[in-house]
Amino acid sequence: MTLPDRYDALVVGAGPAGSAVAAHLARRGARVALLESKRHPRDKPCAEYASPRIAEELAALGLVPDAWADAALALDGMRIIRGDTAFDLRYERRERQRSAWGLDRKRFDALLAAHAGASGAHLLQETALTELLRSDAGRDGGRVTGALVRHRNGRRRAIHADEVICADGARSLTSRLLGVEREVAFPRRLGLVAHYSGVAGLERSGEMHIGHRLYIGLAPTPGGEMNVGMALPLDRAPRPAVAAFEAAIASLPAVARRLTGSRRLTAIRGSAPIGHRVARTAGPGWLLIGDAAGFIDPFTGEGIYRALRSARAAAAALLSTDPAAAYVAERRRAFAAKDALTWLVQGMLATSPLLAYATRRLASRPSAARTLGSALGDLRPATDALAPRALLSVLRP
């Protein structure tokens, strides 16, 4: 097949964000190229626990639950455990219980990329963006007009597009080339994940164990395996991933007990630092979506939902006469309150006595825990959990 050199949109990266925006645009008839430097199914370090709301985002892409059932396992929620205190994070919308999802990330991402292709996008795998093309440099260094790409076989070519949508993840080359990447100052964490078999007693929900400056999540995945994912402080003297992984498990006896008699099935994969920051998410001819537009930390299990939600915001913005402004405004509507809640949770994680206090209160106040869970699961506005009454219901003695 001869591919055109010019598209309506060039999407860089076929993770959940890129595949979703490519599918949205192709479904309404746009000419879209979707670049992926690797080949699906590909590995992505992930704790594989997704927010309930991915179901609505997938439906908006034309994917009914049966289409992704093999890649997802319905879960009741997460049990948050700190020392001898625990509470259940559950998700509710209009008093109806909703499921979170344990994912097979490899399969899930491959399925989304294939869906983008089936929707009409040109999926170019093993093809990496190497440079951005710009019109004559102006105030913003010129309008982005396309990219130079290189196939694994060494072939290079230019692809021109009206809009370049950068979905190349938390190590985003595009945000660096655009000059908007910023240092991740806090939280600075190393993320490590591996799959286990033979972990008993966690078929319907996950567990999040919080220790001193670290946390470990256990999330059941489709096929009966368990994802063991952790975030550790990055300032410790670096040591081999296996040693760091095993020391973290040993530091939390409840996790060590859970894993007694189990078997690690995969290598330990990691990412550091976990997050990504940018100064701006849009400009002339370009939009950043998914992790490339910024990611805080996986503790609240929402990176995949955000990737899908920001993809929908980007697709809608391209219908406007000023896509960059429309996209920034929609991101503010969709994410500003949730970001504030996520930062509040991060602040608590970093402040041991406050975290201990809040965990004890949430353990004895199920309705406050439900409000928090539903806000973190994007099932009610984050402002509900940030309202003075809600904060007081957690923090009052």
Ligand X SMILES: Cc1cc2nc3c(=O)[nH]c(=O)nc-3n(C[C@H](O)[C@H](O)[C@H](O)COP(=O)(O)OP(=O)(O)OC[C@H]3O[C@@H](n4cnc5c(N)ncnc54)[C@H](O)[C@@H]3O)c2cc1C
Residues that bind ligand X (CB under 6 A): 12-18, 35-38, 42, 44-50, 128-129, 167-169, 173, 191, 193, 229, 271, 274, 290-292, 295, 298, 301-304, 307
**Closer residue to ligand X (CB): 127 or 393:** 127
Task: Give the shortest CB-172-to-ligand X separation in angstroms.
Answer: 7
Task: Give the shortest CB-23-to-ligand X separation in angstroms.
Answer: 12
User: Which backbone phi and psi does 17 adopt, to 5 degrees?
Assistant: -65, -50
- Check: CB of residue 10 under 8 Å from CB of residue 302: no
- What single letter denotes the amino acid at residue 134? R
Identify the three-state secondary structure at position 397: coil
Task: Give the shortest CB-374-to-ligand X separation in angstroms.
Answer: 17
User: Which backbone phi and psi does 238 adopt, to 5 degrees?
Assistant: -60, 140
**Closer residue to ligand X (CB): 159 or 394:** 159
Task: Give the shortest CB-57-to-ligand X separation in angstroms.
Answer: 12
Task: Give the shortest CB-368-to-ligand X separation in angstroms.
Answer: 23
| Cα end-to-end span (Å), the chain | 68
Report the alpha-carbon distance of residue 81 to residue 79 in Å, rounded. Answer: 6
The residue to which tokens 């205190």 are assigned: 85
Strand order in the sheet with 100-103: 49-50, 100-103, 72-75
Burial class (CB in 10 A: 0-12, 13-18, 19+), 129: buried
**Closer residue to ligand X (CB): 167 or 394:** 167
**Closer residue to ligand X (CB): 15 or 52:** 15
User: Helices marked H in 97-220 — which ranges?
Assistant: 105-118, 173-177
**Closer residue to ligand X (CB): 285 or 290:** 290
**Could you count the other beta carbons within 10 Å of the beta carbon of residue 336?**
11
Report the alpha-carbon distance of residue 270 to residue 276 in Å, rounded. Answer: 15
Task: Report the phi/psi class of residue 237: left, alpha or beta, with left for phi > 0 and alpha for psi in -120 to 50.
Answer: beta
Task: List CB contacts of 193: < 8 A, sequence separation 6 or more.
Answer: 45, 46, 47, 48, 227, 228, 229, 230, 268, 269, 270
Task: Give the shortest CB-21-to-ligand X separation in angstroms.
Answer: 9
**Closer residue to ligand X (CB): 77 or 298:** 298
Would strands 32-36 and 6-12 be described as parallel, antiparallel, or unpaired? Answer: parallel
Asked if the peptide bond before residue 273 counts as cis, ω within 30 degrees of 0, the response is yes
Task: Give the shortest CB-269-to-ligand X separation in angstroms.
Answer: 8
**Closer residue to ligand X (CB): 294 or 361:** 294
**Closer residue to ligand X (CB): 285 or 301:** 301
Task: Give the shortest CB-105-to-ligand X separation in angstroms.
Answer: 7
**Closer residue to ligand X (CB): 243 or 392:** 243
The residue to which tokens 């590995």 are assigned: 43
Task: Give the shortest CB-226-to-ligand X separation in angstroms.
Answer: 13
DSSP 8-class letter at 31 = -
